[in-house]
Amino acid sequence: MNLVLAKTDTGRAISDIFAVARDRLPGAGKIADARRQAFESYERAGLPHRRIEDWKYTDLRVLMRDVLPLAAAPDAAALKRAEAAAKAHAVEGARRLVLVDGVFAPKLSDVGRLESGLSIRTLRDVLEADDAALHAQLLAPDNSDAMVALNSAMMTDGLVIEIADGTALTQPLHIVHIASSAQPAAMFTRSLLKLGKTAGATLVESYIAADGAKSYQVHDALVLAIGDGARLDHVRLVEDGRDAFNISSSVVTLGTRAHFNTFGMTSGAGVSRYQAVIAVAGEHSRVETNGVNLLNGRQHADSTLFLDHAVPNCSSREIFRAVVDDRAHSVFQGRIIVRPKAQKTDAKMMTRALLLSDEAEADNKPELEIFADDVTCGHGATTGALDESLLFYLRARGLSEKEAQALLIQAFVGEAIEQIANDHLREMAIATAQRWLEARA
Amino acid sequence: MSLLEVKNLQVRVEEREILHGLSLTVNPGEVHAIMGPNGSGKSTLSHVIAGKPGYQVTGGEILFKGEDLLEMAPDVRAAKGVFLAFQYPVEIPGVATMNFLRTALNAQRKARGESEYSTPDFLKKVREVAASLNIPQDMLRRGVNVGFSGGEKKRNEILQMALFQPSLCILDEMDSGLDIDALRVAADGVNALRSPERAMVVITHYQRLLNYIVPDVVHVMSKGRVVKSGGKELALELEASGYAQFEDAA
Ligand SMILES: Nc1ncnc2c1ncn2[C@@H]1O[C@H](COP(=O)(O)OP(=O)(O)OP(=O)(O)O)[C@@H](O)[C@H]1O
Ligand SMILES: [Mg+2]
């Protein structure tokens, strides 16, 4: 592989990282070419910074500064610590699929007795195999975003899950990303979930740290392909360590009469960014995308969602809530585009931020671009503090200041959490929020 | 010992003095009525007793069971037995009434070192009290006061009072917004709570309420002071002659 070495300081470091890692990166031929091209795009752009419009509020040159070297494959001790972390974050009844330091860990995962119609492979195996169609899907994320390009260049492992036409999984799938390395390191993962026609699945993603994990970087990408008439319920919980970076991108496409219900909650990581591109490409489809940020200390969390309505008769709902304490910073950028053909689109987005301290910060940037004339679209954004008169009412009834705040915050985030369709996952999200509130008290 | 002693209370809101040396003594077992024209400071007094922020006490004191009430946080006052039924109860979307009631009751009990109610005991108690006040169960499943009619909000205040069993009940215009039947039910609820240990301060504009909740003492407030106190017949007098005679006194 011919590498053009970068001249800048930061670029130089990353060239070395790629050069050192490339023997460990799966895939030859076209995959290797794609990696090299992706890497070149990344090198030209470097880490995103505030002058890149999409990254205006999340300047990685300031916040992250460097990309860390690729994490070493976990040893037995690391796996043991990861196992304990996985158990502590188990989702009852779910099929657990664990990635430790960016590498699939079969011993910690439930890959036995797959239901018929369900196929699970690792990204490594798929990239090493000869499967042009899957490769094309895996390479779908757009490398014009520098962090996607970096992930395309460096992706090491992940899960490739296919659900056959007509198969409705009863057991939720739970992908657990665990960082265990005591050395500062980066992991680069990419996963694909493909739902065939009228298939159904529930996917949970957790990002956590094992005991002893040091500052680390998660660079993740997810491709979701939801077939005609299929339904996917998706929940992502970012509970990384406070020193960690979590940069995740997802690309979602919906067929006809498909339904995508997604919810994200970020309470962990020092700096996180979740960027999703959702293409509503089949008529009569529905998207509900909801999220909650629960931030304190000096946390920075950015959710940047792009909903692309390309065809008629679809609906989308976005509800986003941020609770920001101390000197934390929450960013929500929600862009909805309704293309000329997408008549009868019904798209609504509502984002609200609650600031619990004078130094807390929230940036809300809703954008609606409508090119069709027969549509119902709307958005709203508010930022404010807790309502004093409500707080007083509760305190006059015997609740302490923290208890009163907790009840109001629960109600505030509840508006987003309520949208989770799966009862068990909704309870889990409520419990996570409750833990966050209890930790404040 | 008196239950409540307000001595020469002076209160400002945003640089404007609202209460100018108000005094009031309430003993256990008594029912006091406070009447007075709009803007005379009745709600202000009730808010200051409950501990609402935004009021500046520039003089005087308030003792509750002999303790300095003004030093206590609002939730501490509630746990010690101060209850204010608000003139304008707020709506709290997303907080289910049942959850709110249980959290509040248990917070008060915990603060007093009492054991928390178990869920079945709590539910049983709420259902009993709600039934006695003609409050339908579905109201309890909704957000606190959300979408409640004016009268329903007032009944929800009485429900809380019955549940928390406070020793000092301040009722700020509980009769406003209630129809005649609801008024009787709410008044029955209040009367059921009358006891030798408990006192009530009933703020109202209308003598009619005092036919149901018969006071021991009636006070007339005007321009931030109590300008006259008397027996229940004072309310009838006011009904006949209005407040004009007291405006001068104030
Ligand atoms: N937050 C505030 N800011 C400014 N003025 C206030 C505030 N709260 C009360 N006031 C003023 O204080 C005075 C007393 O108000 P208060 O509500 O106590 O009267 P009230 O006797 O309860 O009247 P009503 O019978 O109409 O309920 C009024 O002139 C009112 O405008
Ligand atoms: Mg009033």
Query: Residue B230 in contact with residue B34, Cβ under 8 Å?
Result: no
What is the pLDDT at residue B68?
A: 97
Name the residue facing A400 among B86, B107, B164 (closest C-beta). B107
pLDDT tens string A334-362: 999 999 999 999 999 999 999 999 999 99
Kindly determine whether residue B95 and residue A410, on different chains, have CB atoms separated by under 8 Å.
yes
A346 Cβ partners below 8 Å, 6+ apart? A314, A315, A316, A375, A376, A377
Chain A hits for B52, CB-CB cut-off 8 Å, are: 392, 396
Kindly determine whether residue B78 and residue A398, on different chains, have CB atoms separated by under 8 Å.
yes
Low-confidence ranges of chain A (pLDDT < 50): 1-9, 11
The residue whose CA has the least distance to atom 18 of ligand 1 is B41
Kindly determine whether residue B52 and residue A408, on different chains, have CB atoms separated by under 8 Å.
no
The residue whose CA has the least distance to atom 2 of ligand 1 is B13
Give which of A191, A221, A24 is closest to A120, Cα–Cα.
A191
pLDDT tens string B178-195: 888 889 988 998 999 999
Could you tell me the CA-to-CA distances from A329 to A265, A325, A433 in Å, in that order? 15, 8, 18
Low-confidence ranges of chain B (pLDDT < 70): 247-250
d(CA B215, CA B201): 9
d(CA A324, CA A355): 5
For ligand 1, pick from B44, B48, B203, B205 the residue to mutate: most ligand atoms within 8 Å of CB.
Answer: B44
For residue B72, count CB atoms less than 10 angstroms from its CB and return exposed for 0-12, middle for 13-18, buried for 19 or more: middle
A180 by DSSP, 3-state: which? coil
* Three-state DSSP string of B167-227: CEEEEECCCCCCCHHHHHHHHHHHHHCCCCCCEEEEECCCHHHHHHCCCCEEEEEECCEEE
List beta partners, residue B59.
B10
pTM: 0.91
Kindly determine whether residue B75 and residue A400, on different chains, have CB atoms separated by under 8 Å.
yes
Tally the C-alpha atoms within 13 A of residue A55's C-alpha that lie toward its C-beta: 23
Q: Is B203 in the pocket of ligand 1 (CB under 6 A)?
A: no
Long-range contacts of B129-133 (CB under 8 A, 24+ apart): B129/B159, B129/B162, B129/B163, B130/B159, B132/B162, B132/B188, B132/B189, B132/B192, B133/B158, B133/B159, B133/B162, B133/B185, B133/B186, B133/B189
Tally the C-alpha atoms within 13 A of residue A99's C-alpha that lie toward its C-beta: 29
- The architecture in CATH of the region B35-40+75-249 reads 3-Layer(aba) Sandwich (3.40)
Instruction: Strand A286-295: give its sheet, edge to edge.
Output: A103-104, A95-100, A173-179, A200-209, A231-238, A259-266, A286-295, A315-324, A346-355, A376-384
Q: Relative to the CA of B37, which ligand 1 atom is closest? A: 25
Task: Give me the residue spans of the domains in chain B.
Answer: 35-40+75-249
E strand or H helix that includes residue A126: helix A123-128
Alpha-carbon torsion, ordered A55, A57, A58, A60, to 10 deg:
80
Give which of A295, A299, A288, A84 is closest to A176, Cα–Cα.
A84
Q: Tell me the residue length of chain B.
A: 250
Query: Residue A352 in contact with residue A383, Cβ under 8 Å?
Result: yes
List beta partners, residue A280.
A254, A309
Kindly determine whether residue A394 and residue B53, on different chains, have CB atoms separated by under 8 Å.
no
Question: Would an 8 Å CB–CB cutoff place B75 in contact with chain A?
Answer: yes
Could you tell me the CA-to-CA distances from A275 to A262, A333, A387 in Å, in that order? 13, 9, 31
CA B86, B89, B90, B91 torsion: positive or negative? positive
d(CA A161, CA A204): 13
Q: Is B46 in the pocket of ligand 1 (CB under 6 A)?
A: no
CA A139, A141, A142, A143 torsion: positive or negative? negative
What is the pLDDT at residue B61?
A: 97
Q: If you ran DSSP here, which 8-state letter would residue A107 be given?
A: G
Give which of A290, A330, A289 is closest to A308, Cα–Cα.
A289
Tokens coding B178: 């209630």
Identity of the residue numbered B23: S
E strand or H helix that includes residue A237: strand A231-238
The residue whose CA has the least distance to atom 7 of ligand 1 is B13
Kindly determine whether residue A398 and residue B52, on different chains, have CB atoms separated by under 8 Å.
no
Please state the ipTM of this predicted complex: 0.96
Question: Would an 8 Å CB–CB cutoff place A118 in contact with chain B?
Answer: no
- What is the Å distance from ligand 1's center to A115 Cα? 69
Could you tell me the CA-to-CA distances from A386 to A329, A365, B72, B99 in Å, in that order? 17, 21, 22, 19
Could you tell me the CA-to-CA distances from A174 to A62, A69, A186, A235, A321 in Å, in that order? 33, 27, 22, 9, 24
Helices B97-111 and B119-132: crossing angle in degrees, nearest 10, is 110
* Residue found by looking up tokens 């470097």 in the block: A46
CA B238, B239, B244, B245 torsion: positive or negative? negative
B157 by DSSP, 3-state: which? helix
d(CA A327, CA A295): 9
Q: Tell me the residue length of chain A.
A: 441
Alpha-carbon torsion, ordered B62, B65, B67, B68, to 10 deg:
-10
For ligand 1, pick from B15, B42, B225 the residue to mutate: most ligand atoms within 8 Å of CB.
Answer: B42
